[in-house]
Amino acid sequence: MFSKGVRAELKDYQSSIMSETASFTIDGTVYDYPVITGTEGEKSIDIRRLRGDTGYITYDDGYANTGSCTSSITFIDGEKGILRYRGYDIEELAEKSEFIEVAYLIIYGELPDRDQLVSFRNLILGNAAIHQSMFHSFAGFPASSHPMAILSAMLNSLGCYYPHMATNNREQDLEHLDIAATILISKVRALAAMTYRMKLGRPFIYPKGQLSYCSNLLHMMFSEPYADYTARSRVDRALNLILLLHADHEQNCSTSTVRMVASGGANLFASVAAGVCALWGPAHGGANMAVIEMLEAIHNDGDDGTRFVEAAKSGDRSKRLMGFGHRVYKNYDPRAKILKEASKKLFSSMRKPDPVLAIALKLEEVAASDEYFIERKLYPNVDFYSGIIMRSIGIPMEFFTVLFSIGRMPGWIANWKEVATGKSPIHRPRQVYIGSARRKFVPIEQRG
Ligand code: ACO
């Protein structure tokens, strides 16, 4: 990490009364920087004064070693397979709570009491309606549009209907945050369902007061004016779990994007619209689609998964087992464990089992006993099971990431709130310039 003449040394003063510092020796001079210790003992070196003191910056392509903020929302220990929202274990939340309650927890920091939950729910339901003018916007999109492009555009447009909440004046936007949060949680679901209906050329379906958040999403997607779709409780529960498990995941690509946009002072609507764009990529929110594409390809090849696992060990990136491995989790992804159990319950009640499920289970079984995967700590990640569950519910593949966005909305809102209420300056990383050195302009007739 450190070039010629630069040496880093961590001094541990934990046993003494002095606070911990880290010392850098740069060009022969020693510089001390404070060590910040997180709630769970995670350590970071506070280098905010580094460039001013030394003229040096740090280089960390991909930010894998860079803490871009302090946050009190989510804790992950990838080595131990731990994920907690606001201090609560994900396993306990998945078992005892539901998406809307967890959304409240993530945004406000505490579990709601009964009255708070009822009022939060009512606000979400009460804000489900979409302004009639927005219906016209859908007519402007070709049916072939990707739903993530529509979702991002429509979330940003939504701010135009609430100009007093999307002012880019911090104080004013914060004053309306409670209502803006419920508008977004409610309308991201409506916009997703409307996009689905528009692409099919079917009329939009309005939500119903008596339905849960997830049942309403399915109703708005799959009901027809002449025939109601009624979600089975197992389906409602499985979708609830998927949204709950995606509600936040610390400083990933899309959440960092939301914080980056927010750091410039942009309003909540604009910031979450940017988050949707960041989530769209196949290395981030799009991986759940890749799992299904892989399982379908294995099925179409007449393989039961055994041949594919062998090929995945070749080291060829294009043959990787999609839905396996994780940049942070070097142990079982706790979300995958929960979804695996949920998928078993869901599939046991299905009359005609999905052939890709058998392949998925076989892949996991083969990989779990194969040295290659054991040595490299490659376990199924959340995308492995979420894609299979969504497919079994009837969600089309290109909507998988849209559902991920619905789940992630509380996390984006909470992260926007941390930036908006904090003192962090605009996010503006530096770079190491490696382009041409200074040179003179060459007139066009002299260019070879
Ligand atoms: N299948 C086969 N081999 C794999 C896989 C896989 N899915 N993942 C990693 N490996 C192997 C690599 O070939 C490498 O082997 P080597 O040591 O012999 O060279 C070793 O494991 C380490 O691989 P890295 O790419 O360095 O691991 P990293 O932690 O950087 O990558 C990643 C994590 C990108 C998720 C990777 O495991 C992968 O590509 N998985 C498949 C895609 C996927 O499921 N993505 C979703 C992630 S979850 C999310 O974003 C919500």
Per the listing, tokens 């946050």 go with 71
279 lines ligand 1 (CB under 6 A): no
Ligand 1 atom, smallest distance to 324 CA: 7
Query: Is the model more confident about 240 or about 307?
Result: 240
* DSSP sequence for 352-419: S--HHHHHHHHHHHHHHT-HHHHHTT--B-HHHHHHHHHHHHT--GGGHHHHHHHHHHHHHHHHHHHH
- pLDDT for residue 88 is more than 90: yes
- The token duo for 135 is 């219906």
Q: Could you give the residue ranges of the DSSP H alpha helices within 201-286?
A: 213-222, 233-245, 253-263, 268-279
* Residue 367: φ, ψ to 5°: -65, -35
* Residue 32: φ, ψ to 5°: -100, 135
The dihedral over CA atoms of 97, 101, 106, 108, expressed in degrees to the nearest 10, equals: -140
pLDDT (0 to 100) of residue 354: 78
pTM score over 0.85: yes
- pLDDT for residue 326 is more than 50: yes
Centre of ligand 1 from the C-alpha of residue 408, in Å = 23
Residue 410 to residue 97: CA distance in whole angstroms: 15
376 lines ligand 1 (CB under 6 A): yes
Looking at ligand 1, which residue's alpha carbon is closest to its atom 26? 327
pLDDT (0 to 100) of residue 260: 98
Q: How confident is the model at residue 6 (pLDDT cuts 50, 70, 90)?
A: very low
**Average pLDDT along the chain:** 92
* Residue 292: φ, ψ to 5°: -65, -40
Centre of ligand 1 from the C-alpha of residue 314, in Å = 13
- List active site positions: 326, 383
Looking at ligand 1, which residue's alpha carbon is closest to its atom 19? 315
- pLDDT for residue 420 is more than 50: yes
Collapsed DSSP state (helix, strand, coil) of residue 257: helix
Q: Which of 320, 364, 386 to mutate to test the pocket of ligand 1 (most atoms within 8 A of CB)?
A: 320
DSSP class of residue 307 equals: H
Residue 431 to residue 60: CA distance in whole angstroms: 10
- pLDDT for residue 11 is more than 50: no
Centre of ligand 1 from the C-alpha of residue 317, in Å = 8
Query: Which of these, 399, 407, 410, 412, lies nearest to 242 by C-alpha position?
Result: 407
CA distances (Å), 317 to each of 72, 280, 283, 368, 431, in order? Answer: 36, 20, 13, 20, 29
DSSP-assigned beta bridge partners for residue 88: 85
CA distances (Å), 182 to each of 123, 239, 304, 374, 419, in order? Answer: 6, 19, 45, 43, 19
pLDDT (0 to 100) of residue 101: 98
Centre of ligand 1 from the C-alpha of residue 297, in Å = 20
Query: Which of these, 108, 440, 38, 249, lies nearest to 258 by C-alpha position?
Result: 249
Q: How confident is the model at residue 287 (pLDDT cuts 50, 70, 90)?
A: confident
246 lines ligand 1 (CB under 6 A): no
Contacts for 253 with CB less than 8 Å, ≥ 6 apart: 278, 279, 281, 283, 284
381 lines ligand 1 (CB under 6 A): yes
- pLDDT for residue 8 is more than 80: no
CA distances (Å), 18 to each of 9, 152, 284, 427, in order? Answer: 17, 49, 42, 31
- pLDDT for residue 69 is more than 90: yes
289 lines ligand 1 (CB under 6 A): no
Residue 110 to residue 97: CA distance in whole angstroms: 13
Strand order in the sheet with 74-77: 74-77, 82-85, 88-89
Ligand 1 atom, smallest distance to 376 CA: 21
Q: Which of 327, 331, 382 to mutate to test the pocket of ligand 1 (most atoms within 8 A of CB)?
A: 327
- The token duo for 110 is 């505490």
Query: Is the model more confident about 174 or about 13?
Result: 174
Ligand 1 atom, smallest distance to 384 CA: 44
- The token duo for 19 is 């606070």
DSSP class of residue 324 equals: B
Query: Which of these, 131, 154, 139, lies nearest to 203 by C-alpha position?
Result: 139
Looking at ligand 1, which residue's alpha carbon is closest to its atom 36? 325
Q: Which of 378, 382, 385 to mutate to test the pocket of ligand 1 (most atoms within 8 A of CB)?
A: 378
pLDDT (0 to 100) of residue 358: 84
- Residue 117, number of CB atoms within 10 A of its CB: 15
pLDDT (0 to 100) of residue 346: 84
- pLDDT for residue 366 is more than 90: no
pLDDT (0 to 100) of residue 350: 73
pLDDT (0 to 100) of residue 432: 97
pLDDT (0 to 100) of residue 15: 36
Burial label, 176 (beta-carbon count in 10 A; 0-12, 13-18, 19+): middle
322 lines ligand 1 (CB under 6 A): yes
Q: Which of 317, 319, 324, 405 to mutate to test the pocket of ligand 1 (most atoms within 8 A of CB)?
A: 324
Query: Are the C-beta atoms of 291 and 323 separated by less than 8 Å?
Result: yes
287 lines ligand 1 (CB under 6 A): yes
- The token duo for 18 is 């002095």
pLDDT (0 to 100) of residue 85: 98
What would the pLDDT profile of 131-155 be if each residue is shown by its tens digit? Answer: 999 989 998 999 999 999 999 999 9
Ligand 1 atom, smallest distance to 330 CA: 29
pLDDT (0 to 100) of residue 179: 97
pLDDT (0 to 100) of residue 114: 98
- pLDDT for residue 174 is more than 50: yes
What would the pLDDT profile of 205-254 be if each residue is shown by its tens digit? Answer: 999 999 999 999 999 999 999 999 999 999 999 999 999 999 999 999 99
Collapsed DSSP state (helix, strand, coil) of residue 272: helix
